[in-house]
Chain A
Amino acid sequence: MNVLFDNFWALLGIKLLLIVLVVMTTALVVIYAELKLGAHFQHRIGPYFAGGRWGWAQPLADALKFLQKEDIIPAAADRVVFKAAPMVSLMAYFAVVVIIPFSPRLVVQDLDVGIFYALAAGSLGTLGVLMAGWSSANKYSLMGGLRAAAQLIAYELPLVLAVVGVVIQAGTMSMVGIVEAQAEPAFHLGSVGIPLPFVLQGQLIGFIIFMIAMLAELSRTPFDLPMAESELVMGYLTEYSGLRFTMFFLAEYAGIFVMSALVSTLFLGGYFLPGLPSNVFGPVILMGKTSVIIFLIIWFRWTWPRVREDQLQGFAWRWLVPLALANLAVTATLKVVF
């Protein structure tokens, strides 16, 4: 067995298998959670029959149904780009999941440039959306794709600048390093050191900015303009059907999981919880924190109306970018002074 783990390629294969299982399972669970929570937010019961109880097998049944559906590519579409778009979308989130630490050692690859790389790779997802919008040769799709691109552009900046605050405080871009920095005592009560997550160490504004910008990056309500059903049919997905549509769907929910795990790691202490050994409970702790964030995202979706495109752009450039820069300046000054 040890020979297997000393071999780089064998170990890589095992990591890949584990991560695929985790991401796929989580995506299915999040889809189910959205169906069920959304139903209860609206005083409905939601899926009920699939799987025998509570409709737990509904996402699987949906996937099976989509598998049998005809794959229609419009005659006018740019076929190559049309086929590549869902690949790019899913690729982005698989690339990001590499750096998420589930425990001090249970991490696929703890890159030195960790979070910087994650931000770069994460924005590729929107490239997939833009490709889908453009290649469909459909007016609604094109509009949706352009909206997605404009949205990414506007909210990428607050997102990145909010992370810089965390990097300043942690003094590293490695994800494990960032969690370890939050595990160190922030202050001492008598002889007891109290560790605090960054959200309680002066990064509250950064956390809020990151959450807002994350919703926009994921095209979630109130920023779901790229596929606003009431104006654009289904936005960039209008021409997609069958399994290609499912893949975008999967990418969306994998994205929700990955971004929530990023927030938990950056601002909420990741796999660390005072009093519990993170080597053993790390994955459970991280998943717990991630679930809270995912619940919030679903809650927002069923509560808030959609913003208008000019409001969306104005909010980002007029408020979030200056606020994020101010947050950055204050954090940096405090770091240098103390």
Chain B
Amino acid sequence: MWPPQCPAALGAVARGIYTRRSTPADAGDGAAQVAEYFQDYITVAVFAAFGAVLVAVAVGAASLLRPSNPTATKSQTYECGIDPVGGGWSQTHVRYYIFALLFLVFDVEAVFIFPWAVQLETLGVFALVEMMVFVVILLAGLVYAIRKGVLEWES
């Protein structure tokens, strides 16, 4: 039974994997399209979740094999072998927050710019000029920040 059927089974595997489930043309009614839309994102969610599950399973499996013998010294915070001084959550420089603010402006731009890039050919010169104005305004912000000394690390 099994060996003669093997090529056929492999063929079916290949067909199933190599055939995209459906194209927009044959997605008939609205309900099917909605289902299709959610299937796309279920796939994404399942793959992302698998990353987390993989870690959980691996760590769980290791817990059966590894020794577990925590002591007070062992679970001390590592600081080059001497007793830790002060807390671990120490103060950090404010410049990291300023970088984040600077980034936020441009990141919003990135969200706008992708749909624009896809439709650029149909929208034409008007859209091009429009986006140039937008980008120049943002660049002015960047120049201001640099002139203000955000990137200077000497204090």
Chain A residues proximal to chain B, CB less than 8 Å? 1-2, 4-5, 8, 11-12, 14-16, 18-20, 66-76, 83, 86-88, 90-95, 97-98, 103, 105-111, 113, 116-117, 121, 134, 136-143, 146, 149-150, 153-154, 156-157, 160-161, 164, 167-168, 171-173, 233, 238-239, 242-244, 246-247, 279, 309-310, 313-314, 317-318, 321-322, 325, 328-329, 332-333, 335-336
- Report chain B residues within 8 Å CB of A76: 77, 87-88
Q: How far is the CB of B26 from chain A (nearest CB, A)?
A: 14
Interface check B82, CB cutoff 8 A: no
Residue among A8, A75, A109, A314 having the largest count of chain B Cβ atoms under 10 Å: A109
Q: Is the beta-carbon distance between B106 and A105 smaller than 8 angstroms?
A: no
Q: Is the beta-carbon distance between B78 and A75 smaller than 8 angstroms?
A: no
- Report chain B residues within 8 Å CB of A105: 17-20
Q: How far is the CB of B125 from chain A (nearest CB, A)?
A: 6
Q: Tell me whether chain B's interface is mostly helix, strand or loop, or mixed.
A: helix
Interface check B148, CB cutoff 8 A: no
Interface check B52, CB cutoff 8 A: yes
Q: Is the beta-carbon distance between A150 and B96 smaller than 8 angstroms?
A: yes
Residue of B nearest to A336 (CB): B128
- Distance between Cα atoms of A109 and B52 in the complex (Å): 20
Contact residues, B2-24 vs A (CB, 8 A): 8-9, 12-13, 15-21
Q: How far is the CB of B102 from chain A (nearest CB, A)?
A: 7
- Distance between Cα atoms of A212 and B88 in the complex (Å): 32
Q: Is the beta-carbon distance between B89 and A137 smaller than 8 angstroms?
A: yes
Beyond the given A69-B62, A150-B99, A157-B106, could you list 6 further A-B residue pairs with CB under 8 A, ordered by the A residue number? A20-B50, A74-B75, A87-B55, A116-B114, A117-B44, A243-B58
Partner of A167, one of B12, B70, B87, B114: B114
Interface check B32, CB cutoff 8 A: no
Q: A1-B9, A90-B54, A98-B44 are in contact. Are A75 and B75 (CB under 8 A)?
A: yes
Partner of A173, one of B12, B75, B87, B118: B118
- Report chain A residues within 8 Å CB of B34: none
Residue among A18, A72, A106, A121 having the largest count of chain B Cβ atoms under 10 Å: A72
Q: Is the beta-carbon distance between B78 and A239 smaller than 8 angstroms?
A: yes
Residue of A nearest to B17 (CB): A106
Q: Is the beta-carbon distance between A70 and B52 smaller than 8 angstroms?
A: no
Contact code string B125-155 (vs A, CB < 8 Å = 1, else 0): 1001001100100010010011000110100
Total A-B pairs, Cβ < 8 A: 235
- Distance between Cα atoms of A329 and B127 in the complex (Å): 12
- Report chain B residues within 8 Å CB of A2: 12, 15-16
Q: Is the beta-carbon distance between B40 and A109 smaller than 8 angstroms?
A: yes
Chain B residues proximal to chain A, CB less than 8 Å? 8-9, 12-13, 15-21, 39-40, 42-44, 46-52, 54-56, 58-59, 61-63, 65-70, 72, 74-80, 84, 87-90, 92, 96, 99-100, 102-103, 106-107, 110, 113-114, 117-118, 120-121, 124-125, 128, 131-132, 135, 139, 142, 145-146, 150-151, 153
Q: Tell me whether chain A's interface is mostly helix, strand or loop, or mixed.
A: helix
Q: How far is the CB of B52 from chain A (nearest CB, A)?
A: 4
- Report chain A residues within 8 Å CB of B69: 70
Residue of A nearest to B127 (CB): A336
Q: Is the beta-carbon distance between A12 and B67 smaller than 8 angstroms?
A: no
- Distance between Cα atoms of A138 and B89 in the complex (Å): 7
- Distance between Cα atoms of A108 and B142 in the complex (Å): 39
Q: A95-B51, A310-B151 are in contact. Are A239 and B77 (CB under 8 A)?
A: yes
Residue among B20, B74, B78 having the largest count of chain A Cβ atoms under 10 Å: B78
- Distance between Cα atoms of A12 and B76 in the complex (Å): 44
- Report chain B residues within 8 Å CB of A157: 103, 106-107, 110
